[in-house]
Amino acid sequence: MIDLKNIYIETYGCQMNFSDSEIVVSILENDSYKYTSDINSAGVILINTCSIRDKAEQRIWKRINQLKSLKKKNTNLIIGVIGCMAERLKNELLKTDVVDLVAGPDAYRDMPALIEKAKKNQKASNVVLSEIETYDEIKPNYFQTNGVSAFISIMRGCQNFCTYCVVPYTRGKERSRSPESIINEAKNLFEKGYREVTLLGQNVNSYKWDSNNEKVNFAKLLESVALISPLLRVRFTTSHPKDISDELIYTIAKYKNICNYIHLPMQSGSTKILKLMNRRYTREWYMDRIKAIKRIIPDCSISTDVISGFCSETEEDHQDTLSLMQWVGYDFAYMFKYSERSGTYAAKKLKDDVPEDVKGRRLNEIIALQQKLSYESNLKDVGKTFEVLIEGVSKRSGKQFSGRNQQNKVVVFDKEDAKIGQYVNVKITDCTSATLIGKILNK
């Protein structure tokens, strides 16, 4: 049965978007709406979108087209597109006969009003970016979580202006949320039984709170969240190599419950390309930061983002990327082909001159190398014992649990009589390049 007050929401893109969807649902539930996981009972369908690469947008366009048939069946159905693509492509989206409303990442408080307008058969939109909106006091509805780990958004926007990236244009200026509201949210989650929080921002290292009597940087914030309880695991993402400080690395080392895992996107191993990307660090600087991490936290795992085929990338630049990956020995990587985004500096000023097949071949080499590095890293863990937080039943077998160790590696093992949300010591007996396989030692 369709209920016009039922909200269904689909999320694409990054963790930030997942966190935003939980804020949007909360805002609507504070009005008169109710979340549903059943698309067929929804009166309002929202698609929270990503613009980071052309492929992401193409996939979402396809999804929007599919929704046409639902709209034909139910003429009262409201379809909204929110998030980065809404911000970037408002007019194109509203031109379609599918999309009724469009809301950018800083316009979510306006959602109830936008839906009301759409119900009167008027196209509704708000893509105004804000310099202050952090949804500070909104308590997210954690409808997407497993009840064990949740995301907490600690800041919004980005103003690093990496030349390839659309985020500063779709998400606006960087702003930090108050430490008090972040700590309260984490405390609340812990009291509800959650055992892991991930603090989210485009560049968490530039988190900054500066009010009359309180100055808080990211290391301080992380410490305050870690102090809530030794049983609450704390993770964070994303760190920018240009400003990851020794203070932060020492803070991670000091608290057992701050996970020994850092996502530190290198993007390219060539100083020439890094300069064109406006990353504001060199290959040598990046290596120095990795050395600091390995010195201060010897068992820290490190992951990265890599882009293949950025403007003017030569074979030599590509070899620099491969050799840096090998030197670091990443445990995990997200790997992409460069995708030109209109409006960015690179689109305006640099030539997207690496042929598609060369981008593809280089990406395949990067993926093959990472596969080998991940496998080698996992092989080293066979025989070791890790504390694992149980997150749910394994997808492969109902008889097994799946969880992660501090290093963010997925570990699967027989359930025995353990429970979801519990910490267990697991001895690793085998691995693939993606997963550690083990056995519970004690509970």
Q: Contact residues for ligand 5AD (CB under 6 A)?
A: 52-53, 164-165, 265, 267, 305, 307, 336, 338-339, 341
Closer to ligand SF4 by CB, 21 or 405: give it.
21
**Contact in structure between 207 and 155 (CB atoms under 8 Å):** yes
Q: Which two structure tokens, joined as six digits, stand for 74?
A: 């139910």
Strands 208-211 and 214-217: antiparallel
Residue with nearest beta carbon to ligand 5AD = 305
Closer to ligand 5AD by CB, 56 or 410: give it.
56
Closer to ligand SF4 by CB, 105 or 421: give it.
105
Which entry of ligand SF4, ligand 5AD, none binds 171, CB below 5 to 8 A by partner kind? Answer: ligand SF4
Q: Tell me if 51 contacts ligand SF4 by CB under 6 A.
A: yes
Smallest distance, ligand 5AD to C-beta of residue 244, A: 14
Helix (H) or strand (E) holding 124: strand 124-126
Which entry of ligand 5AD, ligand SF4, none binds 164, CB below 5 to 8 A by partner kind? Answer: ligand 5AD
Rounded to whole angstroms, how far apart are CA atoms 74 and 357?
Answer: 44
Closer to ligand 5AD by CB, 164 or 236: give it.
164
The angle subtended at Cα 355 by Cα 354 and Cα 358, nearest 5°, is: 90
Going residue by residue from 132 to 171, which x/- string records binding to ligand SF4, judged by CB under 6 A? Answer: ----------------------------------xx--xx
Rounded to whole angstroms, how far apart are CA atoms 190 and 184?
Answer: 10
Residue with tokens 């059943």: 38
Closer to ligand 5AD by CB, 348 or 395: give it.
348
Burial class (CB in 10 A: 0-12, 13-18, 19+), 252: buried
Task: Note if the bond before 238 is cis, omega within 30 degrees.
Answer: yes
3-state SS assignment for residue 383: coil
Q: Among residues 6, 7, 8, 16, which is the contact residue for ligand SF4, using CB under 6 A?
A: 16
Residue 238 CA to chain centroid, in angstroms? Answer: 8
Q: Which two structure tokens, joined as six digits, stand for 277?
A: 């990307």
Q: Tell me if 199 contacts ligand SF4 by CB under 6 A.
A: no
Q: Tell me if 84 contacts ligand SF4 by CB under 6 A.
A: yes
Binding site for ligand SF4 (CB under 6 A): 13-14, 16-17, 50-52, 83-84, 166-167, 170-171
